[in-house]
Amino acid sequence: MERLIFHVDVNSAFLSWTSVKRLQNGESDLRLVPSCIGGDAGSRSGIVLAKSIPAKQFQIETAEPISQALRKCPTLVVAPPDFMWYRQCSKAFKDICRSYAPAVEEFSIDECFLDMTGTRRIYPDPVKTAYEIKDRIRDELGFTVNIGIGPNKLLAKMAGDFEKPDKVHTLFREEIPQKMWPLPVRDLLFCGKATAERLNNGGIFTIGELANANLDDLKKLMGEKGGEALHRSANGEDTSEVSEDYGDAKSYSIVTTEDDNITDYERADRILLGLTDRVSKRLRRDGMRTTCISVTVRYLDFKTRSHQRKLSEPTDISLEIYEQGRQLLRGLWDGKTPLRLLGIALGDVTKDTVTQLSLFPEDNERREKRQKMDRTMDDILDRFGKGSLKRGSGLKEQ
């Protein structure tokens, strides 16, 4: 039995979800005018997180500074993000998807894969079923999605990225030469800008040219594993499974773009501690622990760097996470070059609650003290809200 996979992707998710809430409050629909989701329009700070289709006419780009976007379009409507609302919208559309598919994999907050293999008796026409899902999301939730259909995750996602918005597309194996091969290699899933440039320099410009390239020559150009992986993808080969995660988060992350550039360790540490407290609170709320910590920075030219570290045992303690993050920050940033963005992510999460005791009683006592401090802070923040409590500026445990 050939596999049947759907990929569901919300069109301009943040902007669409904000528009739904605005319409509920009697405000205008941002999707109809030049608009974006981002920082503070009043102070012209922050970056563009999402943009409307009318905003594209002004060449406004995702991740560019709000101030630059406003110079391109002075009438641009800028709305702040609302991540709590976005999580509700994300859950709502994925719940509809779960009512159709035996397994649903959350690929991101606004994307998921549906494994529809073996459902032909219930849904004999996959395209008709995809339209039904798409229209239910639009009619019940107020925003649109694209749905791609294919025999594996790669082809389903490629199909979903065809013409938008509010569309259903197929990309079955017999359709690859017509629909996928004429596309530039940059459009191939997981083919980044640097990889595409390297392929172009080697005389390969389309996915079809990549698919039909000599494999030995491709390995010489892109490396043994890289060349083989690209060749397989260009031919539509993908054996990865749709992994149902039952709603558990695989990672937790948080980033911030400051009103002015970060140019010293003292301020960066203060910001990092605040981010750590917020993201680790979410971790503890879900009863999870992390075994991998990563820190990300972005410079004025939008170049991004990140470092990560595996932990010997899981933790949910804010100060333990912060100490690792602080060391990672020192390893990837000189403390002087201006930063636009700073973030921390907690990956490889687990529900493992077993803690290895130290041979030194003082270490166990310090860990217990930190856990009690975290629980107390979480309780206060839950009762009185964000901003009601912050750690001391010294950043050191007393």
78-105: string of b/e by CB count within 10 Å (b at 16+)? bbebeeeebeebbeebbebbeebbebbb
Greatest alpha-carbon span in the chain = 68
User: Is the Cβ–Cβ distance between 90 and 72 less than 8 Å?
Assistant: no
Write the CB contacts of 267 (distance below 8 Å, at least 6 apart in sequence): none
Distance CA 383, CA 372 (A): 17
Active site residue 197: no
Amino acid letter, residue 384: F
> What DSSP character marks residue 179?
I
> What angle, 0 to 180 degrees and rounded to 10, lies between the N-to-C axes of helices 224-234 and 193-201?
90
Active-site option among 105, 106, 111, 320: 111
Tell me the two tokens of residue 297. Answer: 């920075």
DSSP count for the chain of H helices, then E strands:
13, 12
Question: Which residue, among 262, 259, 257, 192, has the nearest Cα to 226 in the 3D structure?
Answer: 192
Q: What is the number of alpha carbons within 13 Å of residue 57 lying toward its C-beta?
A: 8
**Which stretches of the chain are assigned E, i.e. beta strand?**
5-10, 35-37, 50-51, 77-79, 103-108, 111-115, 145-150, 168-170, 252-262, 290-299, 304-315, 339-347
As annotated, the active-site residues are 111
